[in-house]
Structure 1
């Protein structure tokens, strides 16, 4: 930033930023008032949406801005030079004080349902799915599951799965839902360099079978792609198939051993986003790529993390909740394989972690949410 810079540049909100209701501002009737921050150290004065902005000693101008509705344009103008910047900003009112719980890498539960189709009378006879029903019955929790098409060794895939459970899946679709994750677990980062056609083919392969198995009512238009890595073309393929939102970590590698397939300092589980875009989303909940009509939603918590036993779940969430901008909407993920005793990184307290999360949410007034419901009527507008 040059001290002579007279052109306004938004520091907050930025293009595509999402305000999660009162986590980011104050309601004034049906308008959300936020404080815009604009840098232009060489400017004598600025106006934001027509209102004079106050200049601080650091050269940053601030001004209150009223956001009306879900999609808003905010303009900063230097009246002395005519230089201006306009950003599109969103308000996700329904997201405030809600949470979303997701599962990645799921396939073994369906393999078990197929294996025991002559014995099980319910999908919840499967021990894995039974955990989510328990969380739902005790705390009202909802679960969204991102599915592999095939097992690790390829011996089972969704085309081999019975559809005899579909009626029960549909009956529970208000709280138990599904979408595409990847063809299978390996290789790591399977879509990092893949193009439109390859991603589309894998997604269609899985979704066509899921529609047969769980029914259309249980499918959702949001997902987490395996490893959260994709090219713009790959993300476009998912968008063309109706996926509105992609979930990821949006953080940076700092040499952690479990991220050994990344370079130190590289942004991870961040799809095609730049480092600057990732840094902006790292401590927020959502960001919208208005060029691609895709919402990115942050996963704040990995419940199967090695340093997060059940007794640490509550304190972790307490710490997260202390940051309003990051915790207006809280989203968590757990990976299926850690549930099973034969897995190398088996976690005996897997169930307890999920119940601890759901209990904390209920005790702190967070409501379970469907990301599809939050996004309804947001996309497809003239941006």
Structure 2
């Protein structure tokens, strides 16, 4: 057994074997689809999603982080699996480890009732349905974005139903989703509701053109008009929506880090291969310090990001919400991976800005990551507030 084959600390042999199967599947099967004609500016179409998931199911790597008995791998184990699924932009889609489904499955597994799990969670785990998380609202309405307390969408109880009205924006995967988690505010505070999609009361008015293009259904603007939801489809209790959001947010932030670490790793492999094969000024590009040092910096950033993910995952595995730790990880990893993707483009020159490899897409996807699940600046602001609170408590 080589050092590379040894199980990582805190990771079972079973989880290591799952990660190895996922990597073999993504590299050997999924990567061949990266130029498929069914890929568009708003992600792969539903036929491609279904085809990839059928292949993942046959290979035994569909929803690999949730075991047959319904138990979830630890966060440290999830990290090595999701990193491998991210080696292709299509890997998380094929393996059913993508956002927002992965985070939604985690939330439902923690909070939903047995009946809600059977109706809404089971199809997600089986890879038979996609989901959307309806929280973010249009800035032009003064709605919730990085500050969810600004939520404008309302809900009121009418007999045995809740009636929801509002507008949502940047709702990932809404087009084609079959399960929705809708956030709204009642007199008690924030609430979450489970809904079956499509529903005529939830109307997609526009699918936005964004810098990224890997997520099925893209990112939509949605109008919610008199949506009636049975009371038993509320997730938890009225007014506790922000508490449930916290259950989801830290693991979801970290799983973004995991998946995009895989994509940055693959981009770096492509750039390194290019630099070793391509000659200029009498020698391979890798032998020019300006190029070789960029790739060396990539190795450093990738390793530091990997260790940061593992550290934060270990904190979450203790049962802690890990709010501050996940903010630190999200900032550090997103910035590091963006540097990696940017250097990969630079090393490859003209080839790096073309669609001939996934390097150009990796750059776009990872750039968006610095915004999604909270911009870097919001996380730093939150951490600065914690520093002040800790200082005040120590006085």
TM-score by length of 2: 0.24
Of Structure 1 and Structure 2, the greater helix share is in 2
Of Structure 1 and Structure 2, the greater strand share is in 1
Q: Over alpha carbons, which structure has the higher Rg?
A: 1
TM-score by length of 1: 0.24
